[in-house]
Structure 1
Amino acid sequence: MSESEVNDKLKNSPDDGHRALFDHYYNYVYAITLRILRGIVSMSDIEECVIDTFADIMLNYDPDKGGSLKAYIGTVAKRNSINMLRKSNRKSYNTISIDSDDFGEIVSCTDVEQTAENMDVSEALISAIKALGEPDSIIIIQKYFYDRKSSEIGKIVGLSSTAVRARISRAMKKLKNDLADFC
């Protein structure tokens, strides 16, 4: 079923359209959600996030506005997954195990020294990446922060995927040398 057929069903019969939307895009939403949340939350939380994504889409998507349905769905799935990721990170810092008999003194879960050190390392990394200049800095950010493939990055910066891989290799060696002094 094509995107336009799903849009037509949503306009003519919302119930049938929602069913078609779910059937057609379930694997797409699940793949996005799984990629972001795998290993961080439970599988039931991932499934809950997928269902929440479809609920958001079905409540807020207007087929009359036009635009790409798949892009809209992908954006909602990504945002919902990131929100769940943030919530799970907040929960992990604020939970205390009740399995132990020793409640004793409750210690802060935040290690200030470690947090400060991590911030220093992050700032040094960002500075080193910026120092690479373009297009190397763009390539590194797209590869390691946005998890894009060499062919996708090549289209962004106007290089072949082979040239992108070569630049990644050289840039990573330069970053390693630049950051060796820091660590």
Structure 2
Amino acid sequence: MTDQQLRRLLSSSPEKAHRLIFDEYYNYVYTIVFNRLRSLGTPEDIDECISDVFAEIFTKYNSESSHSGNIKGFVSAIARNRSVDTFRRLNSGIKASVSLDADEAVQLSSDERIDEQAERTETAHALLDAVKSLGEPDSTIIIQKYYYGRSSEDIGDMIDMKPNTVRKRLSRALSRLRDILREDDEGR
């Protein structure tokens, strides 16, 4: 269904239009929200976020809205923004309780910029992928050293290697990692 057809349906039968949007985009919204919250949220948090997404869609997308273009992009943007807000709330350890009237949608403001957080996340994923590409035991050594802060002796005990060997492998692995990251950076 095109955006224009959906707007006409919204004018004549909002309930049918909302049902159509929900049926068409539920799995899409679920995927976006689940991917953002799976490491931190409970199934109830994910369900609540999905409900918030559709509540915002139904509130903001109407026959008179200024949005023009593909509804999938509109749905995607709301799902991403709402899941990021929920992730921040859950990550901060502060449980926000907001009472909502049926006619009013409330957005929580944040001092953190989404674009900066997304860039940091993308960089972290690229770095982790590069570390994993080093193979074993080098990737384990780097992760244990820099993520968990373990000493060469502790790492050596874990992977049955002498501390001196761990330090040598770490030095070589870091050199290879720099080369990999440099190649990736030049490829972009």
What is the TM-score of this pair, normalised by structure 1? Answer: 0.50
Larger radius of gyration: 2
